[in-house]
Amino acid sequence: MKNWILVSALFFAGSTVYAADLPPQGMSMAKVQQKYGMPSTKTKAIGKPPITRWIYPDYTVVFEYKHVVQSVRMIKEDTPAATTPQTSPDTTPSTPAANEAVIKLDVQQ
Residue 16 lies in a domain: no
Give me the pLDDT at residue 92, please: 55
Residue 46 lies in a domain: yes
Residue 81 lies in a domain: no
Q: Phi/psi at 44 (nearest 5 deg)?
A: -70, 155
Q: Are 59 and 73 in contact (CB under 8 A)?
A: yes
Residue 85 lies in a domain: no
pLDDT tens, position by position, 67-95? 999 999 988 777 565 655 555 555 555 67
Residue 58 lies in a domain: yes
pLDDT tens, position by position, 5-60? 443 444 444 433 356 689 999 999 999 999 999 999 999 999 999 999 999 999 99
Residue 101 lies in a domain: no
For 56, the domain range is: 25-76
Residue 106 lies in a domain: no
Residue 64 lies in a domain: yes
Put simply, whether the predicted model's pTM sits higher than 0.85 gets the answer no
Name the domain count of the chain: 1
pLDDT bucket at 65, cuts 50 / 70 / 90: very high
